[in-house]
Chain A
Amino acid sequence: MTTLLWLQTGSCGGDTMSILCADSPSVEELVDQYGIEFLWQPSLSAEPKKHLDTVLDAILEDRLALDILCVEGSIMTGPNGSGMYDPYRGRSKMSLIRQLAEKAGYLVAMGTCAAYGGVHAAPPNPTDCLGLQFDKQAPGGLLPVDWRSRRGLPVVNISGCPAHPNAMTKTLAMLAAGLPLELDHLNRPKAFFNTMVHQGCTRTEYHEYDVEDELFGGKGCMFFNLGCKGPVTMAICNSELWNGRGSKTRAGVPCFGCTSPDFPSDHDLFRTEKIGPIPVNLPLGVERANYMAYKSLAHEAAPERVLNKTMDP
């Protein structure tokens, strides 16, 4: 039996909606097959909210073990550091999460808001919000850099806006089953964050041969002009499809880099920032000079079917 408590802070509920869409494993499977007991989940618990008080008291008084604490949403610290933009029963959720974190076997940030601050932290960040252990890219958030949960891990960041349904359920299944969880430099589980959005995108051939779309609604690559961050973003969107069916880039929507700490970018989200004809942000790890050389060669080598954009993504 693994106890799990899920709290929403400054959130839209999208990560809850997303996890309800998970199918491998599903939320029901977490309960049936992995022995996860939802002590509280805002959309699933049948008990009245008073029950949550009972559960919280029991955890804080060490009468109930909390194996996994999931937080969905930004941590609101405003106004003036009080945290009262997001209160619970007359106190701030910020202070409640801080207390609960000390009791949790693992603390999991469900989505970019809880991990790094997310959309609510976009300028001017009206609520002074941040993530659980990061403030955008800066290490240290509500909890300090060296904080570790009872089971010895920093906050596990399953970033994404929303987080990928199966990345959430698989992580919970791994924790419940006692499987090791290796994290990357942003404390994201490597199992889901060691893959580019670009990998598996059905438009990659257009990218390879530098066949660029300049308008939306086409078949080509959106990296060069239309703001796509697929080649610089870590996520499984194109290797484990969303809702079992698709991904943004497959549907002709640019990747907005929503798993990254700096999401959403301040820059026009549907335009690629460029220096001359070359994007400012090149595919991860690529040298600018090499890229310029490669790009012109690639375009020369492009077959007609790609140049004429006859291939369906």
Chain B
Amino acid sequence: MSRRTIQIEMNRVEGDLDFQLEMEDNIVVDARCIGTLYRGFEQIMLGRKPTDALVITPRICGICGTAQLNAAVLALEHAGRIAVPPNAVRIRNLCLMAETVQSDLRQSFLFFTADFCHPKYLSRPFYDKALAAFQPFKGSVHRGALENSRHIVEIVALFGGQWPHSSYMLPGGVTTPANSRHIIDSLSILNKLTRWFEQTVIGTDLDVWLDLQSAEQFFAWLTEKPAHDESATGLLTQISREIGLQYLGFGTPHMLSYGAYDDPRYAGTFTQHKQRLFKAGFLNGETGIVEAFDQAKITEHVRYAWFQPYPGGLHPFQGQTVPDYQPHSDRYTWCKAPRYQDKVVQTGPLADALIDGEPLIRSLYQAEGGNAWLRQFARLRRTAKLLRTMRDTLHELSADLDEPHMLPPATKDIPDGEGFGLVTAARGGLGHWLQIADGAISRYQVVTPTAWNASPKDSAGRHGHWESSLIGMRVDDPDDPVEIGHIIRSHDPCLVCTVHILDSGKRLTLWP
């Protein structure tokens, strides 16, 4: 039996991501998820005006700045108990959905499917098809995704001025109303994208696609017409299943969703836990039951992170982020380990769909479990749902054009106190917790989706979700482990959001 440590650096993720894997023969026996960048956002926030969070925190992440902005404004509104008008909720939802569609298309067809063009698959029957569709700059789907992901964020530019990085959601609403020009422009953008999605990504009408309710129906649909199995989704499904991604990458069985998109009908009053269009919850992987979600049950551990140690876990309102760089210890990361009810959880489109009760994803999950293919498939399934929800949102807006888009808060400044904002970003649950003292930010804690998924071990030594999804895997070529790429990219890593990890340059081995 040979034991070795391999180090894998990954691209086509947002940010820098490394893994150290302990291999016995060709089986992964231990894994350490290592991002490699420290930026210090929590420190930069301290002492600033609370509303500065609306400018600074979107810069945490280039691909999900709208979600960061939304979380920040909800946290400020929570702290000030500030209500917003229904149209502001609709415009915020519309922009967040546009960003999510952009992210899902780019993740699927720029980041994930490029792996199918790996030389390892040269002799496979699907290889020529994979190149024709997914090869960067040459494949038809790759080029289509570049083009169309570019267009969808034009909707954000109409309402927010630009994408990425604008600050158009402010306490009390949004900065610009939905006028009829914006509505018609947005519908044109949406229709154009929907046509491409129908022709290229699913090979059928959106309605037909959304009507598929069960695993049987889906697999029957796949083989029903050439247009279906030759669509980008069909191809992604066939290739994934041919290389066995339906058997890999399960990770933790526990799932968390904050729910997505505030329901505008409840916008008139401030509520702490929002009514949402897609439900929040915690899927207990041991019982299979979806429990009510409560943010008070979130804690973060630092046992394996380079922060000043504290025992067990702390809720973000008590969160401590004091750097304590110890490269030559058993600590290996700047990333804290978030836990819910003290359990290791995963978050993202698969968790969102299961907790919301999406029938097709639930049926596939019951058939095969939460594997890497299903995680990726759930993301594309979501795109279809969002295209439909965006259209509905635009119609709601056009029925109510004269309604206000901003209810200026009673006081100019956000009062001292605390608040949190929870949203569903493209990669899963994103939370901001802030405290304000003497008119300035005294604590700001951000827990990103990737923090949940990429978390290191916690105080009890339990591996994070990605780490556990790799342990036990067989790797054909440890020098070029493309399998790891599939699994990890199926989670759509966004390391710029999360990671406070340093690579010591030394390979740590955790056993003698």
A247 lies within 8 A of B162 (CB) = yes
Residues of chain A with a CB closer than 8 A to B59's CB: 12, 14, 119, 161
Which of A8, A26, A87, A90 neighbours the largest number of chain B CB atoms within 10 Å of its CB? A87
Partner of A246, one of B150, B162, B505: B162
Which of A11, A17, A28 neighbours the largest number of chain B CB atoms within 10 Å of its CB? A17
A162 lies within 8 A of B40 (CB) = no
B174 lies within 8 A of A46 (CB) = no
Partner of A217, one of B14, B143, B174: B174
Partner of B480, one of A12, A23, A48: A48
Q: Is A288 at the interface (CB under 8 A from chain B)?
A: no
A90 to B327 CA separation, bound complex (whole angstroms): 12
A85 lies within 8 A of B38 (CB) = yes
* B106 CB → nearest A CB, Å: 7
Q: Is B44 at the interface (CB under 8 A from chain A)?
A: yes
Residues of chain A with a CB closer than 8 A to B157's CB: 241-246, 251
A217-B405, A245-B185 are contacts. A44–B110 as well, Cβ < 8 Å?
A: yes
A252 lies within 8 A of B176 (CB) = yes
B165 lies within 8 A of A14 (CB) = yes
A91 lies within 8 A of B62 (CB) = no
Interface residue tally on A, bucketed by range = 35 or more
Partner of B154, one of A26, A119, A161, A244: A244
CB within 8 Å of B: which A74-89 residues: 76, 79, 84-89
A269 lies within 8 A of B52 (CB) = yes
Instruction: Identify the closest chain A residue to B505 (Cβ).
Output: A90
B52 lies within 8 A of A126 (CB) = no
Q: Is B16 at the interface (CB under 8 A from chain A)?
A: yes
A256 lies within 8 A of B175 (CB) = no
Q: Is B502 at the interface (CB under 8 A from chain A)?
A: yes
B166 lies within 8 A of A253 (CB) = yes
A16 to B43 CA separation, bound complex (whole angstroms): 25
Interface residues as binary, B475-512 with A (CB distance below 8 Å gives 1, 0 otherwise): 00000101001000000000010000011111000000
Q: Is B29 at the interface (CB under 8 A from chain A)?
A: no
B-binding residues in A (CB < 8 A)? 8, 10-18, 20-23, 26-28, 31-32, 42-46, 48-50, 52, 76, 79, 84-91, 119-120, 122-124, 126-127, 161-162, 215-217, 237, 241-253, 256, 258, 264, 268-270, 312
Q: Can you pick out 24 interface pairs between chain A and chain B where the beta carbons lie within 8 Å of each other?
A: A10-B39, A12-B59, A12-B65, A13-B14, A20-B146, A26-B150, A42-B11, A43-B11, A44-B110, A46-B118, A48-B11, A48-B480, A48-B485, A49-B11, A126-B39, A162-B165, A216-B406, A217-B406, A242-B161, A242-B163, A251-B159, A251-B161, A253-B160, A270-B49
A-binding residues in B (CB < 8 A)? 8-12, 14-16, 36-40, 43-44, 47, 49, 51-52, 54-56, 59-63, 65, 106, 110-111, 114-115, 117-118, 135-137, 143, 146-147, 149-150, 153-154, 156-168, 170, 172-177, 179, 185, 323, 325, 405-406, 408, 480, 482, 485, 496, 502-506
